[in-house]
Amino acid sequence: MGTHFPMTRPINDTLLRALLRQPTDTTPVWIMRQAGRYLPEYNQTRARAGSFLALCRNPNLATEVTLQPLARFPLDAAILFSDILVLPDAMGLGLYFVEGEGPKFERPLREEWEIRDLSAPDPDNHLRYVLDAVAQIRRALDNQVPLIGFSGSPFTLACYMIEGEASRDFRWVKSMLYGRPDLLHRILEVNTQAVTRYLRAQIESGAQAIMLFDTWGGILSSPAYREFSLAYMQRVLQELPREWDGHIVPRIVFTKGGGLWLEAIADCGCDAVGVDWTVELDSAKQRIGHRVALQGNLDPGVLLSNPDTVVREVARTLAAFGPGHGHVFNLGHGITQWTPPENVAALVSAVHRESRRYHNPG
């Protein structure tokens, strides 16, 4: 399995130390969706690729766009350029993109026989292009900063697989959850096996930290969240290697809208909990900061303003976490395509400058 990339510690390992709540001189920063449409160079590479999916499936171009934000900004990590939906695509659901409408599946899971026939793909065969990109990015990074690998959570993937596209009301998912929970559990079982294999292969190929994106966990009731989302993320983390080549591989779990369940998330086997902008960082730190690191949580909308406002909001976010280690600065969700790059430059600079006082008091 995988290419077994040696897990050498990067020169700038601030992110890895922060995720494990070890001392750092500054608060590390990376940005969800940091390689994206807000960067002119990304749009040029995407145009050369011909489509978003072609870009994902080309390891050379995926490496190129992964590195683009690091060439512009002194970020503390790279994150693999890919999409959470390449995994269900490898399960035969037929992923395609409609301009202006986002991802869709040709064959959403609605029939019982389709769900019974579903199986987890072998990442070495069906997702080789992702693993090749991971290994290539690691080589290109030349040990400067760590590389984050990722997957969608079993439940979030199931939402797309059942609805066939992004949804406002999740009609099909909720109907199955309450009407045929056995079928939803069957999908989640397969997804858990698929996500575990996929993340393990990313670690073997060179990913130095991993993240589970539970984008749609927040649509659930509290009992349903624990049964259909959190329980399966916990199983993924139990099955993944804790260390690779003698180094701990930190795990981040992010449930958008999951502020109600921070304590339960902190108990699932992760090293860091991502929080969105609806959660106060000081409150989150008080609730779970003694157990896990926190990642977040600037509202991406702040980046639509101006550099002065960005600097002010960065300072406010850092102050909310306050003194101590175990904070990774990030947005509360992905950066939007309308963000001016100069605002990102202001954010990264401000995080590094303003956070020193919280790590080296006096």
Selection from 102, 27, 38 nearest residue 68 by Cα = 38
Residue 98 corresponds to which tokens in the numbers above?
């409609």
Question: Is there a domain that residue 19 lies in?
Answer: no
Residue 31 sits in a domain of what CATH number? 3.20.20.210
**Catalytic-residue membership of 160:** yes
| CB 296 within 8 Å of CB 281 | yes
In this prediction, residue 8 carries a pLDDT of 74
Q: Is residue 157 a part of any domain in this protein?
A: yes
Does the annotation count 83 as an active-site position? yes
Say what the pLDDT of residue 226 is: 98
Question: Which pLDDT belongs to residue 9?
Answer: 83
**pLDDT block averages, 10 residues each, the chain of length 362:** 62 97 98 97 97 96 98 98 97 89 92 97 98 98 97 98 93 98 98 98 98 97 98 98 95 97 98 97 98 97 98 98 97 96 98 95 56
- Work out the angle at residue 98's Cα, subtended by the Cα atoms of residues 93 and 99, and round it to the nearest 5 degrees: 155
In a domain, 267, yes or no: yes
User: 21, 46, 138, 235: which is the annotated catalytic residue?
Assistant: 46
Contact 333, 9 (CB under 8 A): no
Task: Return the amino acid letter for 6.
Answer: P
**Cα 106 to Cα 161: distance, rounded to the nearest angstrom:** 10
33 is catalytic: yes
Residue 31: name the closest of 328, 346, 352, 357 by CA. Answer: 328
Q: Would you state the pLDDT for residue 3?
A: 53
In a domain, residue 278? The reply is yes
Taking the C-alpha atoms of residue 225 and residue 151, their distance in angstroms, rounded to an integer, is 18
Q: What is the pLDDT of residue 102?
A: 85
One of 83, 122, 267, 299 is an active-site residue; which one? 83
Q: Is residue 32 part of a domain?
A: yes
User: Does residue 103 sit in helix, strand or coil?
Assistant: strand
334 domain-assigned: no
Domain-located, residue 3: no
pLDDT value for 361: 61
Residue 173 lies in a domain: yes
Identified catalytic residue from 17, 21, 33, 235 = 33
Give the number of domains in the chain. 1
Q: Which of 38, 42, 160, 198 is catalytic?
A: 160
**Virtual torsion, Cα 86, 189, 217, 242, nearest 10 deg:** -80
Can you give the residue range of the structural domain that contains 211?
A: 25-293
